A and B are shown apart, each in its own frame.
Chain A
Amino acid sequence: MSRQPPREFVAPVQRFRIRYAKRGQLRFASHRDFQRAFERALRRAEVPMAYSAGFSPHPKISYANAAPTGTASEAEYLEIAVAEHCRADDLQTRIDTALPPGLDIVEVVEARTPDFVQRLEGSRWRIALPGVSPDAAQRAVTALLATHDVVVERLTKNGMRRVEVLPAVVDIAVTEGRAASVAESSETCAIMQVVLRQETPAVRPDDVLAALRSVADLAPQVPPQVTRESQGPLAEGGNAGGITIGDPLAADREA
């Protein structure tokens, strides 16, 4: 006799899109670490989640484009499905309270439009380079942009992978500033603002740094601090005439 899994599953009645941040010390959490922490927070917050069917039902959550381990982020996105009607502001407070400080809910919006993931066309990354002067960084960036194709290798679960970097680079600018988590007294250093297009396989800030190392010998002594500042649809324009990143939740908010 073969046992059948229970037939009932908890059907969704509503979906919410959530923007969250990974800050400070908790930037060292991997995406899997975040997933476990988030699912447990949902249970502590008593969010009436919708579940899949089967012997081991899973809460209905879709994650998009997680930032790499060690990278902070102000703009991560996911979507949840709930089995009872909820209010977005109430969900935001409850889930944020249940999450450990450093994993923070920035905004919750009810999903009212299709194709959310397609709107996540690109990300703006802030890369602080402690110990590197803006001039040195600018020279390296100029050298990188002058090359035609740069391929870097990255170790993945499936072995070494070759990544073409330049096609994903939409914009790179160098400014001066302070590394985010270092004490006030620390010296200023180069800050790179990099806009990368979401591609498959994904090109990550680490790949850009590897490209700068291979093309221009830019090798910071202290590990760079990377933060994803925004993620969304890419658009030309803005006052400066550069590339802007739109708000991917705008369509749901306005619908």
Chain B
Amino acid sequence: MAMAPESVFDRLEHLLPCVQKPIQYVGGEVNAVQSDWDAADVRWALMYPDAYEVGAPNQGVQILYEVLNEQPGVLCERTYAVWPDLEALMREHDVPQFTVDAHRPVGAFDLLGLSFSTELGYTNMLTALDLAGIPLMAADRVDGHPLVVAGGHAAFNPEPIADFIDAAVLGDGEQAVLALSDIVRDWKVAGHPGGRAGLLERIAKSGVAYVPSLYDVEYLADGRIRRVLPKLAGIPWRVAKHTLMDLDEWDYPRAPLVPLAETVHERMSVEIFRGCTRGCRFCQAGMITRPVRERSKAGIAAMVKRGLAATGYEEVGLLSLSSADHSEIAEVTTYLADCYSDSQTSLSLPSTRVDAFNVDLANELSRNGRRSGLTFAPEGGSERMRKVINKQVTEEDLIRTVATAYAAGWRQVKLYFMCGLPTETDDDVLQIARMAAEVIRVGREVSGRRDIRCTVSIGGFVPKPHTPFQWAAQLDHETTDARLALLRDRIRSNREYGKAIGIRYHDGKPGIIEGLLSRGDRRVGRVILEAWRAGARFDGWSEYFDFERWQSAASIALADEPVSLDWYTVREREHSEVLPWDHLDSGLDREWLWEDWQAAVDEEGVEDCRWTPCFDCGVCDQMGTQIQVGPTSVEMGMPTARGETGIPLSPRADSMA
């Protein structure tokens, strides 16, 4: 057996006084697991490919970290992207990419799992591989190098990173990582039959993960894909996503990590359901995580209680894609507000639903707290635009909702919109200005105050795979910027209300690169490599992102191809075109997606199947899954499936005398 790799901390320690926020590289989180290297036969390093402050709170990594470490014979540690200041010192002093748990070199693990919430983490993966001494190209790796596995939402089209990864897991990771661990263990126990290629073949044949190197991509002369086909018999033509059923059985994380370093989410999160069937056509998360699977109200109460006791956090967030949509959310919020109203614990419900019910929930959660701001997401400025994106909210709904909020004492309303949606015109975006002015007019009327505010926050739309807009042309960044400038001027020129309206937006350039990485194929891998070699790092951070670097990388890397940055982004695709991710199965029926795309152009809506009959998106039939919603019978505070109760734990429960 190989010796346990030594901690690199002694070598790292001398570098830490010279970098920003050294505590992020130290680990030492409350509830971190210290595992015995020699007692494990399958060893995972999990990476969130962004800075520690963003990666450490990530729920996906925290869940898999616990699930894996609970498993006998399996060890799991975490690693995050190092900032360029430490990267330079690590290169100078020959310190490899390390885990924050035991500071072991990442290259010593059996598997390196990367969770990609966004495609903008791809260059950080390359930095980590390079610092770890793992060959960047999967084809150059040999026995002894970790198996590089991608997961997360971006893994639903892993083609742009197909050359760098060994495998990709689609969908929920809990069961998939256990299945992968078993395959790796069996292969090791059997004496590495077939070497690395043998292991990859086992994985591909199991269907647990997609192994890009075992598929050939053929192209047409014009640059489009001709077909994608498996290289070996017994390998699935299409690889399906994983869907976890019964969230109450998977109540992770049970002991959430509490980092010492400050992070972007200083709270404990409880995922109250997974999936969304609202059917917003721009929303990849909503499309690829179907069907809706709710955690029971008793399960939620138990997780809140146990998590607060394990972490000492002051705030609990009830997470999901649209938290007010949980079928028992009113009971849950009332119960939790009753339990914790006198315990210096605050509750938050990230929800952007535009209706009075949402305001009621927010009121309930802020019984004793300050009512500063509420957020709503109409997404589209005009009625027509909202029909195109299937955001079924009328202007009357919005005005009525914000009036309720201002009347209940909320001082600020934040409105989320998108710019660059399919079929959008200048006028659709300018409607945002009119709407915001109306919000202030009504707000002043119902609150009797002039100091209320409205902030308009606008994100650029990026078409994503596995959505009805996967065929759409992305709006070029020049037009996006021009439209946003028009909107800004329109808002500022409103003498009566303009000063009460804030506007937040970013320029359209980063969205174009996100678009390239989202809908790209394998040829885009060369662009990523070229950009990384030219210095691309932390592309999700505006202070590091450099559009010109990416543009130049694209023109160099695609010089001999009939395709270009524009070809991947601002080009509309036809029905017949083979899309790079067509062989990856999110459960959504391709014809249903196409019909929904056509319905979008025709400005027709589709209902939510939680409350209306099925409209055959394909997921439940193909995946053998079903919607799981309440009402549930077990009351909060009663034993759940796991035998735990949700009776609240007050921080001042017993006297210590």
Pick from B113-121, B164-172, B310-318, B412-420 the stretch touching chain A.
Answer: B310-318
A69 sits at the interface (CB 8 A): yes
Say whether B657 contacts A84, CB under 8 Å: yes
Q: Which residues of B contact A94 (CB under 8 A)?
A: 656
Closest A residue to B13 by CB, please name it. Answer: A181
- Within A43-78, which residues are at the interface with B (CB < 8 Å)? 43-44, 46-49, 51, 55-57, 59, 69-70
How distant is A90 from chain B, measured CB to nearest CB, in Å?
6
Q: Are B260 and A26 in contact (CB under 8 A)?
A: yes
Q: B262 touching A102 by the CB < 8 A rule?
A: no
**Closest residue on chain B to residue A3 by CB atoms:** B409
Are B262 and A36 in contact, with the CB atoms below 8 A? Answer: yes
A44's contact among B13, B25, B309, by CB below 8 Å, is which? B309
- Of B44-52, B269-277, B498-506, B646-654, the segment with at least 4 beta carbons within 8 Å of chain A is B646-654
How far is B370's CA from A56's CA once the two chains are assembled, in angstroms?
Answer: 8
- How far, in whole Å, are A186 and B211 apart by their CA atoms in the complex? 48
Min C-beta distance of A68 to chain B, whole Å: 10
Q: Say yes or no: is A1 at the interface (Cβ < 8 Å to chain B).
A: yes
B651 A43 Cβ-Cβ under 8 A:
yes
The residue among B26, B266, B309, B653 with the most chain A CB atoms within 10 A of its own CB is B26
* Complex interface bits, A73-103 against B, C-beta within 8 A gives 1, otherwise 0: 0000000000111110011001000101110
Contact between B368 and A6 (Cβ–Cβ < 8 Å)? yes
Q: Complex Cα distance A100/B21, Å?
A: 19
A46 to B310, CA, bound (A): 11
Q: Are A28 and B651 in contact (CB under 8 A)?
A: no
A1 to B23, CA, bound (A): 45
A170 contacts the other chain (Cβ, under 8 Å)? Answer: no
Contact B370 A28 (CB under 8 A): no
Q: Please tell me if the beta carbons of B312 and A98 are within 8 angstroms of each other in the complex.
A: yes
Which chain B residues lie closer than 8 Å to A90 at the CB level? 656
The interface centre, meaning the residue of A36, A51, A59 with most chain B CB atoms within 10 A of its CB, is A36
Residue A168 at the B interface, CB < 8 A?
A: no
A32 and B262 contact, CB distance less than 8 A: yes
Q: Are B22 and A42 in contact (CB under 8 A)?
A: no
* Chain A residue with Cβ nearest B407: A1
Instruction: Give Cα A49 to B343, complex, Å.
Output: 11
Across the interface, do B654 and A222 meet the contact criterion of CB distance under 8 Å?
no
A85 proximity list for chain B (CB < 8 A) = 655, 657
Bound together, the chains give a CA A177 to CA B261 distance in angstroms of: 32
Among A2, A3, A87, A223, point to the contact of B656 (Cβ < 8 A): A87
Query: Counting chain B CB atoms within 10 Å of each CB, which of A5, A25, A56, A85 scores highest?
Result: A25
Q: Does B16 contact A (CB under 8 A)?
A: yes
The verdict on A183 contacting B10 (CB below 8 Å), with A26-B28, A87-B657 known, is yes
Q: Which of A6, A84, A86, A223 contacts B18 (CB 8 A)?
A: A223
For A41, give its contact among B10, B266, B312, B656 (CB under 8 Å): B312
Q: What is the chain B residue whose CB lies nearest that of A206?
A: B17
Q: Which residues of A contact B229 (CB under 8 A)?
A: none
Give chain A residues whose Cβ lies under 8 Å from the Cβ of B654: 46
- Using A36-B266, A43-B312 as known contacts, say yes or no to A25 and B652 having CB atoms under 8 A apart: no
- Contact between chains at A25 and B9 (CB < 8 Å): yes
Assembled-state Cα–Cα distance A219/B654 (Å):
55
Q: What 0/1 readout, one digit per residue, does chain B (343-357) give for beta carbons within 8 Å of chain A?
A: 010000000000000
Interface string of B285-327 (1 = CB under 8 A from A): 0000000000000000000000011111110000000000000
Contact A37 B260 (CB under 8 A): yes
- Number of B interface residues at 8 Å Cβ cutoff, please give it: 41
With A33-B260, A40-B312, A41-B312: A1-B409 Cβ-Cβ less than 8 Å: yes
0 or 1 for each of B1-33: is its CB under 8 Å from A? (1 = yes)? 000000001100110111001110111111000
**B-side contacts of A181, CB under 8 Å:** 13
A39 lies within 8 A of chain B by Cβ:
yes
> Using Cβ atoms and an 8 Å threshold, which residues of chain A touch B260?
26, 29, 33, 36-37, 100
With A and B bound together, what is the CA distance between A1 and B21 in angstroms?
44
B196 within 8 A of A: no
The answer to whether A222 and B14 touch across the interface, beta carbons within 8 angstroms, is yes
Flag whether A182 is at the interface (Cβ < 8 A): yes
A30 on interface, CB distance cutoff 8 Å = yes
Complex interface bits, A160-198 against B, C-beta within 8 A gives 1, otherwise 0: 000000000000000000000111000000000000000
Pick the residue among A32, A42, A87, A100 that contacts B29 (CB under 8 A).
A100
Given A40-B258, A40-B311, A44-B310: A84 in contact with B22 (beta carbons within 8 A) = no
Q: Evaluate contact between A46 and B409: CB separation under 8 angstroms.
A: no
* A101–B29 alpha-carbon span in the complex (Å): 10
**Residue among A26, A39, A69 making CB contact with B312, cutoff 8 Å:** A39
In this complex, what residue of B is CB-closest to A70?
B17
Q: Are B16 and A84 in contact (CB under 8 A)?
A: no
CB proximity of B183 to chain A, nearest CB, Å: 35
Q: A26-B26, A100-B30 are in contact. Are A223 and B17 (CB under 8 A)?
A: yes
Cα–Cα distance between A207 and B26 once the two chains are bound (Å)? 25
Q: CA–CA, A56 to B372, complex, Å?
A: 12
Q: Which B residue's beta carbon lies closest to that of A41?
A: B312
A-B contacts, 21 listed (Cβ < 8 Å) = A1-B409, A2-B409, A26-B26, A26-B28, A40-B312, A43-B308, A44-B309, A44-B312, A48-B651, A49-B651, A51-B344, A55-B370, A56-B369, A57-B344, A70-B17, A70-B22, A83-B652, A84-B656, A98-B312, A100-B260, A223-B18
Q: A70-B16, A100-B28, A223-B18 are in contact. List 17 more A-B contacts (CB 8 A).
A: A10-B652, A25-B9, A28-B22, A29-B26, A33-B260, A37-B258, A43-B308, A47-B656, A48-B651, A48-B652, A48-B656, A49-B651, A87-B656, A90-B656, A91-B656, A94-B656, A100-B30
Q: Which residues of B contact A (CB under 8 A)?
A: 9-10, 13-14, 16-18, 21-23, 25-30, 258, 260-262, 266, 308-314, 344, 368-371, 409, 651-657
Binding site for B on A (CB under 8 A): 1-3, 5-6, 10, 25-26, 28-30, 32-33, 36-37, 39-44, 46-49, 51, 55-57, 59, 69-70, 83-87, 90-91, 94, 98, 100-102, 181-183, 222-223
The list of the 9 closest CB pairs from A to B, nearest first, reads A40-B312, A43-B312, A223-B17, A55-B370, A44-B312, A28-B22, A28-B23, A25-B26, A3-B409
